[in-house]
Amino acid sequence: MDTASVVSSYRRYAKVYVFGLNPGRRQAVQRMDLKSGQRVLEIGVGTGLSLPLYPPEVEITGVDLTAEMLEQAQRRVDLLGLNNVQLHLMDAQKLEFPDNSFDKTVAMFVASVTPDPVAMIREMKRVTRPGGGIYILNHFSRKGSFLSLAEKALSPLSHLLGFEPLFYLDEFLERAGMGGAEDIPIRPFGYWRLLCLQKKGGRPDPNPPRRGGR
């Protein structure tokens, strides 16, 4: 995957992107346990399917690499009158925000899309305040499973599909330095997982992600 193929894939998908029924988005927002006035950064916000799920008293900043996806998100924002949302065209691997700008950062179905997920996590950690939370919702491949054979076969087509089908959890956790993250399988199949990591330091989060995973 490279940046040009991500943008060209999601430019094609923008008007027909309907990956809307995944229960993980609602679970991610619930798990963030947001309080009035908190600042959230959503990375790869896409067409903004998650935006109506946030409490209105929370400030949401959404960024995405693909202008056409952001246009759909802006339409949703206007249609629903979401006054708490700001959208920016920006690369998650080089965020233009100062350190410690947000209480929580979240990336839903982006880790296996972005060309360099390790750089994305590094940036998410940088812009999250000490004691804040980092949340990753994504599919993860299971070694030796029947599905992983299909994912392996599709992997060379990732630049056309717009995501990397073969994406192992343990490798991602290690490379991204997310080893202490809580790992919550999304029912019914657990194919999608929600990873929750608390950034070290700062005042304690009243509802911190549990360490060690499951």
Ligand X SMILES: C[S@@+](CC[C@H](N)C(=O)[O-])C[C@H]1O[C@@H](n2cnc3c(N)ncnc32)[C@H](O)[C@@H]1O
Residue nearest ligand X (C-beta atom): 46
Residue 113 binds ligand X, judged by CB under 6 A: yes
Q: Does 105 bind ligand X (CB under 6 A)?
A: no
- Write down the least CB distance from residue 144 to ligand X, Å: 26
Minimum CB–partner distance for residue 202 and ligand X (Å): 26
Residue 82, interface with ligand X (CB under 6 A)? no
User: Which residue, 177, 106, 168, is CA-closest to 135?
Assistant: 106
- From CA 47, how far away is CA 144, in angstroms rounded? 34
**Comparison of 121 and 181: residue with beta carbon closer to ligand X:** 121
Closest CB to ligand X among 119 and 205?
Answer: 119
Residue (27 or 114) nearer to ligand X, CB:
114
* φ/ψ (deg, to 5) at 197: -130, 135
Shortest spacing between CB 115 and ligand X, in angstroms: 7
Residue 23 CB, shortest distance to ligand X, in Å, is 12
133 vs 147: CA distance, rounded Å: 31
Asked if 164 touches ligand X (CB under 6 A), the answer is no
Q: Which stretch binds ligand X (CB under 6 A): 33-41, 78-86, 88-96, 153-161?
A: 88-96
Stretch that binds ligand X, among 31-39, 46-54, 175-183, 186-194 (CB under 6 A): 46-54
Chain residues that interact with ligand X, rule: CB under 6 A = 6, 10, 19, 25, 43-46, 49-50, 63-66, 69, 91-93, 108-110, 113-114
